[in-house]
Amino acid sequence: MIECKKLSFSYLAGGGKKKYETIKNVSCRIKEGSFVLLCGVSGCGKTTLTRIFNGLIPHYHEGKLEGDAYIEGKNTKRLSLFDISLKVGSVFQNPRSQFFNVDTTSEVAFGPENHGMSESKIKQRVQQVCSQLDIEDLMDRSIFSLSGGEKQKIACGSAAAIDPDIYVLDEPSSNLDSCAVSDLRRLLEILKSCGKTVIISEHRLYYLADLIDRVIYMKDGKIEGDYTAQEFKAMPESQREVMGLRPLDLDVLKDTEHGIKAEAFSRWVISDMTFSYKYRPGILQIGKSILPAGKVTAVIGDNGAGKSTFSRCLCGLEKRCRGTVEYDGHVYSAKERLNICYMVMQDVNHQLFTENVEEEILLSMKNKNKKQIERLLEDMDLTELSECHPMGLSGGQKQRVAIASAIASEKPLIIFDEPTSGLDLFHMRKVANVVNEIADQGRTVLVVTHDPEFILRCCDHVIHLSAGRVYESYPLRDRRDRIRLLDFFMLK
Amino acid sequence: MAKELLASCRDGSSIILDPRTKLAVLITISIFILGGSYEGIMQYYIIILAFIPLILLLSSGKRKASVIYIVIFGGSLCLELFILSMLPSPVNYIAVTITGILLRFAPGIVMGYLLVTDTTVSEFMDAMDKLHMPRFITMPMSVMFRFFPTVAEEWSCIGDAMKMRGIGLGYRRAGHILEYRLVPMMICSVRIGEELSAAALTRGLGGPIKRTNVCDIGFHIQDIFILFVCAGAYVAQIYVLITRG
């Protein structure tokens, strides 16, 4: 059982002078064996609460903690992280940074090793966990060869190897495609059936609908709602929407429409694009594909279908990519494409270089124009931040800076790589609006995404990749097209 | 992503050596091939030593690398033995330098490469434990090995972003190029490092209990054979020193 009594926590920033409170006066009690969903918009304090449950607060993240949290009757302040790790297993959001070993078997054995279990017992335990969670086929593999979904499965396995009673997951599905989400769901189902307590903080709700026992809704650091599964499911979709939550059932998205853009005046023609990977099998082979200019095209497909590779080839980032791209009567080589494409990356930290926001935008501009910058800053809601260091901003603000730089570059093709992974409803819609505006300015946009709701809010055309080829390609015009799209995202 | 420093898995075909044996070979090669004086019988013994990395390369199926290694080492050896003395002096000077460098460095580099690519992290940690290396040295080292591939990944992502914005060779503000690459690099690395540590701590790393290790390393017949060959080098060197008087 977990119990919180009047918990408040503030992170210290700016050398301990500034502090910002993330949770305020939170009290709750979580029963053994229950499956609890923590939800709420970004910055509502979900992540902080999960960190309190797994002991990272107060033992790792610095800040001021008031009130007490108890795990099985013991105050977490008096337990060490080592003690807590026996009781609570954690899975984090970013699959790139939660593995300590480079091979899967050692990773699962890592926890038991740290706890000094004997060798024979560890081997037995690893076997047991693998068969229990159905991840035997992933053993003895390099972590770097796994897809995002497989990585999250190993992360669960690694947590389960210590055999804790409580599992805390912080947005585990953020980087996963629909297939991997189904896998994750199955795994959570197994944990639930073993009688474990599961606490999961998440934006995507649809895959959890049948698992949850209780929903805790947070807002501005406080618990604003505490529902049983029945109550939460009985809520009308519109109420969840007001709360800033993603839909519980993807079916409701069938009627999502967005403004119709001007008819395409020309198009991008991609022909005979081929690319073979250096380090892994499989090739990308796009015979012929068309992007309508001035519109938004979504690229969908499972992890490993070649979506990212396709976008990288299109940008001209892959030198060994063959094939041509034709636009406006001009055929562009890979090298030339670097000058006409701009990619907003999934991790925008990689593309913010300068000391302040204004300079960041200036860096992209060919013809420096003060007025234009001001207008752009205003459009992107960045005017007040123009003097700030881009790296000091929040995730959403950073993304807006990166998008502003993309717009400033005046390149005709803008590519977004997973722009909404881990965003709540409001922020996702904001990004969708921005994407629509970019297209309205006559630019062509390509979006690589796993987010069906986002696609329905801004995309006009869908390219579905599978195993490196175009599986199908269709416009999104009416309800039938939307159902076709949603079918791909449904739980399998 | 296939750039890895310490291997993550192996195919069963290669000769498996204890990491300590590999370390011993590396040290021996460094002493006698890289830093040796090639006196008396030593000039023949180094050829035997140079065979060890070749055998390991061949056994792990790296044919191309083996051929390159034979060409570089064998070629420069032949040059030094038979041809160099016949060359006119200015050419001779350059040739001696080049063959000398190739001859002396190639085996050590290959062995070092084998040590880091053919050893898993767990094996490495276990070997270090058995050598009684203190934890405060081996822990950060293993984190570092874990960290390199991730940093390499970040590095190439940032490089891509720079290319897309036309920052690269010929960029007019050349002084800023390094800054543009390093600032995001550092910030990303710090963040990843933090997340990695948090994840490791929630799995009980750094607890008061002595850590166990699942991989069982140990000396086998092939280790003993190779260690004998290495020991032979020291014996030969001592013999050379004694007979020289």
Sequence spans of domains, chain A = 2-248, 294-307+340-489
B89 vs B102, which has greater pLDDT? B102
For A146, the 3-state DSSP assignment is coil
Q: Is the pLDDT of residue B1 over 50?
A: no
Q: Which two tokens mark A149?
A: 């979904």
What residue numbers bound the domain in which B182 lies? 133-202
Cβ <8 Å between B158 and A280: no
- Residue B5 covered by a domain: no
Q: Please give the CATH architecture assigned to the domain spanning A2-248.
A: 3-Layer(aba) Sandwich (3.40)
Instruction: Provide the whole-model pTM.
Output: 0.82
Q: Does A409 touch chain B (CB under 8 A)?
A: yes
Q: Please give the CATH architecture assigned to the domain spanning A294-307+340-489.
A: 3-Layer(aba) Sandwich (3.40)
- The mean pLDDT value of chain A amounts to 88
* Other residues' Cβ atoms within 10 Å of the Cβ of residue A436: 18
- Residue B61 covered by a domain: yes
For A458, the 3-state DSSP assignment is helix
The set of residues, in sequence order, having a beta carbon less than 8 Å from that of B191 and lying 6+ positions away, is: A97, A349
Residues of A in contact with B149 (CB under 8 A): 102, 144
**Cα B223 to Cα A213, B10, B14, B109, B227, distances in angstroms:** 58, 18, 13, 20, 6
Closest CA to B51 of B235, B194, B230, B245: B230
- Residue B149 covered by a domain: yes
DSSP-assigned beta bridge partners for residue A283: A276
The set of residues, in sequence order, having a beta carbon less than 8 Å from that of B243 and lying 6+ positions away, is: B40
Exposed/middle/buried for residue A381 (C-beta within 10 Å: 0-12, 13-18, 19+) = middle
Query: Do residues A61 and B164 lie in contact, with contact meaning Cβ atoms separated by under 8 Å?
Result: no
Note whether B228 and B171 are same-domain residues.
Answer: no
The lowest-confidence range among A240-254, A293-307, B55-69, B73-87 is B73-87
pLDDT of residue B24: 92
Q: Which two tokens mark A242?
A: 């007001």
- Residue B7 covered by a domain: no
Q: Which two tokens mark B70?
A: 């034979």
DSSP-assigned beta bridge partners for residue A63: A11
Return the H-helix or E-strand segment holding A24.
strand A18-30
* Other residues' Cβ atoms within 10 Å of the Cβ of residue B166: 15
Q: Which chain A residue lies closest to B154 (C-alpha atoms)?
A: A350
Query: Do residues A337 and A315 lie in contact, with contact meaning Cβ atoms separated by under 8 Å?
Result: yes
- Return the percentage of chain A with pLDDT > 90, whole number: 47
**Chain B from 129 to 188: CB within 8 A of any A CB:** 143, 145-146, 149-150, 153-154, 157-158, 160-167, 176, 179-180, 183-184, 187-188
Facing B161 at nearest CB: one of A60, A81, A351: A351
CA distance A351 to chain B (A): 5
How many cross-chain Cβ pairs, A to B, lie less than 8 Å apart? 195
Query: Do residues A29 and A229 lie in contact, with contact meaning Cβ atoms separated by under 8 Å?
Result: no
Facing A102 at nearest CB: one of B4, B198, B209: B4
- Residue B181 covered by a domain: yes
B216 vs B112, which has greater pLDDT? B112
Tens digit of each residue's pLDDT (9 = 90 or more) over A113-126:
889 888 889 999 99
What total number of domains does chain B contain?
Answer: 2
- Residue B60 covered by a domain: yes
- Residue B139 covered by a domain: yes
pLDDT of residue A372: 86
Q: Does A366 touch chain B (CB under 8 A)?
A: no
Q: Does A120 touch chain B (CB under 8 A)?
A: no
Say how many residues make up chain B: 245
Note whether B110 and B40 are same-domain residues.
Answer: yes
Q: Is the pLDDT of residue A235 over 60?
A: yes
**Secondary structure E strands in A339-391:** 341-344
Question: What is the distance between the terminal CA atoms of chain B, rounded to a whole angstrom?
Answer: 56
Running DSSP on this structure, what letter comes out for residue A492?
A: -
The lowest-confidence range among A153-162, A434-443, B185-194, B209-218 is B209-218
pLDDT band of residue A261 (cuts 50, 70, 90) is confident
Closest CA to A151 of A196, A204, A100, A195: A100
Q: Which two tokens mark A471?
A: 């599986």
pLDDT of residue B6: 54
CA distance B4 to chain A (A): 8
Q: Which chain B residue lies closest to A336 (C-alpha atoms)?
A: B164
* A264/A284 Cα distance (integer angstroms): 27
Phi and psi angles of residue A38, each rounded to the nearest 5 degrees, phi first: -100, 125
Average pLDDT (B167-189) is 81
pLDDT band of residue A369 (cuts 50, 70, 90) is confident
Note whether B26 and B140 are same-domain residues.
Answer: no
Buried b (16+ CB within 10 A) or exposed e, A212-225: bbbbbbbbebebee
Q: DSSP secondary structure string, A381-442? A: T-GGGTTS-GGGS-HHHHHHHHHHHHHHTT-SEEEEESTTTT--HHHHHHHHHHHHHHHHTT
- Residue B145 covered by a domain: yes
Would you say the CATH fold of A294-307+340-489 matches that of A2-248?
A: yes
